[in-house]
Chain A
Amino acid sequence: MSEEVSITKTIDARGSYCPGPLMELVKAIKHGQVGDVYELLSSDSGSAKDVPEWVNKMGHELIYCKPEGDFWRIAVRKTK
């Protein structure tokens, strides 16, 4: 199912500590359109926890969150 998702924008935040991967995603979501799908690449394993928590809290949709080598690939849809 995840392979069928059309990514609006990929955010490569690998190696980013400040403002950090989640903040880069927050920026994209705030400025994006409802329905946009963002794929975040993060080398911070904390993102696998932080991002789903934020997405859930804000009411957006987590499409997938999967490890790939030394980084994580996380896709989120802006729902409102």
Chain B
Amino acid sequence: MTKRIVIIGGSVAGTMVANRLAKSMVKELYDGELEIILLTNSLQHIYQPGFLFIAFNEGFLEQFQKNQKELVHPKINLIIDQAKIIDVKNNKVVTEGQSLDYDFLVIATGSYPDMNSVPGLAEAGHTFYTLEGAVKLQEAMLNFKGGTLLLTIDVPHKCPVAPLEFIFMADDFYRELGIREKVKLKYTYPIGRVHSMEAIASWAVQEFDKRGIEYEVYFNLEKVDPERKIAYTMDGAEHPFDLLVSIPAHRGAQVIKDSGLGDEDGFIPTDRYTLKMEGQDNVYVVGDATNLPVSKAGSTAHYEADIVVKNIISELKGIPASHRYDGKTFCFIETGLKEATYITFNYEQPPRLCPPSEMLHWFKLSYNEIYWLAARGLL
């Protein structure tokens, strides 16, 4: 009897899982013993780190997107539709057009930045965390002739180093435009240092001081007055700005909330090692959709995908799911328009940061292309 795996979500996590499963189970797919369905609501697969480059007019959307059909293995059943309800009790996913029964389910529905999470933010602020936001911000940044550019960060958010990348790139950007002395760059962070990771925070502060970037810690945004252009924080302080760029709190996909599966933010309680949804033996969760206390990042999705694929294959073969995710994350950090560094860590190993270099910047740029190999399950 044909076993069916349904994967919901066609971004980095879902596409990798689908392709790696297909590559490993080719015979079973062609023999009809296995069916892999990748359910996604968009035919376009977008490489989200590209949004940062778009915001600085350093790249175009066409460089960062591909048609999903070009990326998936030919034996994957690609369905473009919107998942409406995930019914784990009855092992089925209900979409706008059909109902899909499954033997194994992989939830890779991601997360989204919620600009409505803070009153006034959507009206007053910009974000480079969406395509639409990056395009609008590009125009705003190019037209910005001087004043205070305030960057605020809420929790949780994907790509933990992107706020630092943004502020360093902004510093280079306005220097190149010759107006850096007219632009006050102010970076803020919710806790008592400029980044959650001490190694990054220590290094970043030195860079801030070197570049004349102002920073403020214990900054927890509570509301924004779009008319007066003032940001108000939890401690009661007022912060005037001329251009507000925000990384707001992220939420899980609507289908998770509608299905009653996630926590108050729409993220699914997940076993941190097996990556199974808590309480469900045949449901795996991967990428931003989990509630795990790990980075919401592409690399996390990549490493998690490895484990999920191996565990599903084991279970298909009647072997217990013995593979364990060790919390591994690896992140590039653009330190300007010409240099980069990286950081790596896992549940046991604290973060290690290496010195920035031009070579790593070029490697990061190369990864923008190599990513497509990873999405295809080839890396």
Contact = CB atoms under 8 A, between A and B. Distances in A.
A13 interface: yes
Contact of B192 (A12, A13, A53): A53
Interface in B134-163: 154-156, 160
Interface string B183-196: 00000001110001
A34 B201 CA distance: 31
Interface string B203-227: 0000000000000001010000000
Interface string A7-43: 0000111011111111110110011000000000000
19 contacts: A13-B293, A17-B196, A17-B197, A17-B345, A17-B350, A18-B196, A18-B329, A18-B345, A19-B196, A19-B293, A20-B197, A20-B293, A23-B156, A23-B191, A26-B220, A27-B155, A30-B154, A57-B235, A59-B235
A67 interface: no
Contacts, number: 73
A46 B350 CA distance: 12
B196 A58 contact: no
B249 interface: yes
A19 B160 contact: yes
Nearest to B193: A50
Contact of A54 (B191, B293, B329): B191
A23 B197 CA distance: 10
Contact of A22 (B156, B196, B234): B196
Nearest to A19: B196
- The majority secondary structure among interface residues of chain A is helix
A58 B295 CA distance: 25
A16 B294 contact: yes
Give the most central of A19, A31, A54, A58: most B CB within 10 Å: A19
A37 B361 CA distance: 44
Kindly list the 6 A-B residue pairs having the minimum CB-CB distance in the complex, ordered from nearest.
Answer: A15-B347, A16-B293, A20-B196, A27-B155, A18-B295, A13-B293
Nearest to B196: A20
A12 B273 CA distance: 14
Interface of B: 154-156, 160, 190-192, 196-198, 218, 220, 234-235, 249, 264-265, 272, 293-295, 327, 329, 345, 347-348, 350-351
A30 B293 contact: no
A35 to B, nearest CB: 16
Contacts of A46: 198
A72 B349 CA distance: 18
B155 A18 contact: no
A18 B264 CA distance: 20
B315 to A, nearest CB: 25
Nearest to A42: B293
Given A18-B351, A57-B235, A12 B198 contact: no
Given A18-B329, A19-B293, A27 B235 contact: no
